[in-house]
Amino acid sequence: MNLLAICLLILMSFATQAKDVNDRRDAQPEGLVKIAVLRGEVEIEGWDRAEIEVKGELDELATDLRFEVKDGVTEIEVIMPRHNVNWADGSDLVIRVPFQSKVAVDAVSTDIVVEDVRGSLQLRTISGEIKMKGGRERMNLKTVSGDITTEDTVGRLQASSTSGDIDISNHEGDFDGESMSGEIDVVAKDVSRMRGSSVSGKVSVKVGFTTEARAELTSVSGKIVVRVMKPIDLSLQVDSNSGDIDNDLSDDKAFEMFGMKSLRSQIGKGSGTLTVRSVSGAIELEEG
């Protein structure tokens, strides 16, 4: 019996988690959910209930969790001490929200994962990564030193990282992406507005444009590779100060003027405009 008691005590101590959280609140199906997590990982999943659920573990140094619903706005915040934020394990939360919720996440050293949330999204972290699947409206994703990865999104997608890579696959709709030293890799269709900009990272897009689309891709020293899906109906304006321009979209070749290389070309009726500029990076244009 003593042995049994010891085993049970030890196991009970294992099972006890002082900072576990498991809470649920009623919420509007299309309400706004604001989430603030200083560090750790937060996973946000859409579900078909008019409820918001928060599960997982809080930061080792968290003092509290604020979980309030008021006037259609839900606020979830891991409260941290302002002056004692030693390096500790961060929060690890899974938050379930109604499918159509609008979600805003404000984080610092936090990885953000979002799946099946169909309202507008604003995800901001500093040194964490952002992964998203299945966004449907306006999506604004920002990180400083982390990567951004999205798949199966429809709508207007904006992604920005300073030193991280941006990898967008299977997107339908407009896209705006910026990175400084990271690479931008986009596969998108039904694009009427596109902008991709990097300083030293490679910009690579495979894109299907709508008619009268406007697209601008720029880089200072990074290579730019554009693969355009058929049908193609574009005016091309391509310039580079010192990088090579390799055009397989039409028969036109780049020419040199005032020490710059330029390409002007019309494919189809030329209804849309594709502007590509680099200072020293090479530019490649081909059919996708």
Partner 1 sequence: MSVASLKSFYEELKRRRVIRVATLYVVAIWPIIQLLDIISPALEIPESVLRYLVIAFFSGLPFALILAWIFDLDRDGVHLDDGQAHEPFLGSRTDLTLVAVLCVLVVGLFLVQVSLEDDSLVENGSDDGSIEQRELVRSTPEVVAPVSDNSIAVKPFDSFSENPRDQYFADGLSEELLNVLARVPELRVAARTSSFAYKGVNRNISEIGRELSVAHILEGSVRANDIDNTIRVTAQLINVESGQHVWSETYTHQYSDVFKIQDEISGAVAEKLKVTLFAGKTTGSGTRGARSSNPEALIAFGRGQQELSRRSKDSLLAAASYFETAVAEDQNFALAFAGLCDAYTLLVSYEYADRDEFLIKARQAVDRALELDPELGIAWASKGLLESQYPDKKELARSLLKKAMKLNPSYAMAVMWYATLIEDDGEKMQLYERAVKLDPKSPVASYNLASMYAVQGRDAEVMTLFSHIVESDPNYPKGYELVAQLASRNGRIGEAIRHFERAYELSEDLNYGVNVSKLYADIGDFEQSDIWYQKLAGGVPEEYKNRVLWFRIGRFVGAKDSQGVTDLLRKIEQTHGGDLETEYDRLLARYYLGDRKNLVRDYDVALASGKTFTHQDEYIKEFLPEVQIVVASQLESEGESARANELLASAEATLRENLDNPSRHWPEDWYGMARIYAVRGQQQQALIHLQRAVDEGWREHWRPGFDPIMQTYESNPVFVTMMAGLENRLTIIRDQFEMEAEFAMGF
| Residue ranges in contact with partner 1 by CB under 8 A | 1, 3-4, 7-8, 10-11, 14-15, 32, 34, 38-41, 60-61, 71-73, 82-90, 92, 102, 104, 108-109, 120, 122, 126-127, 138, 140, 142, 144-145, 158, 160, 162-163, 176, 178, 180-181, 195, 199-200, 216, 218, 220, 239, 241, 258-260, 275, 277-279
Question: How far apart (Å, rounded) are the C-alpha atoms in residues 193 and 183?
Answer: 20
Question: How far apart (Å, rounded) are the C-alpha atoms in residues 182 and 162?
Answer: 7
Separation of first and last alpha carbons in the chain? 72
Q: Is 25 helix (H, G, I), strand (E, B) or coil?
A: strand
C-beta of 143 vs 247, nearer to partner 1: 143
Distance of closest approach, residue 72 Cβ to partner 1, in angstroms: 7
Pairing of strands 73-79, 130-133: unpaired
C-beta of 237 vs 288, nearer to partner 1: 237
- Tally: H helices and E strands in the chain: 1, 23
C-beta of 89 vs 286, nearer to partner 1: 89
DSSP 229: P
C-beta of 140 vs 250, nearer to partner 1: 140
C-beta of 9 vs 50, nearer to partner 1: 9
Question: How far apart (Å, rounded) are the C-alpha atoms in residues 142 and 203?
Answer: 17
Q: Which two tokens stand for residue 145?
A: 């030193």
C-beta of 92 vs 185, nearer to partner 1: 92
Place of tokens 């998108």: 188
C-alpha distance from residue 66 to each of 21, 125, 269 (Å): 11, 19, 57
Distance of closest approach, residue 246 Cβ to partner 1, in angstroms: 20
Place of tokens 């964490």: 128
C-beta of 251 vs 257, nearer to partner 1: 257
Question: How far apart (Å, rounded) are the C-alpha atoms in residues 63 and 51?
Answer: 25
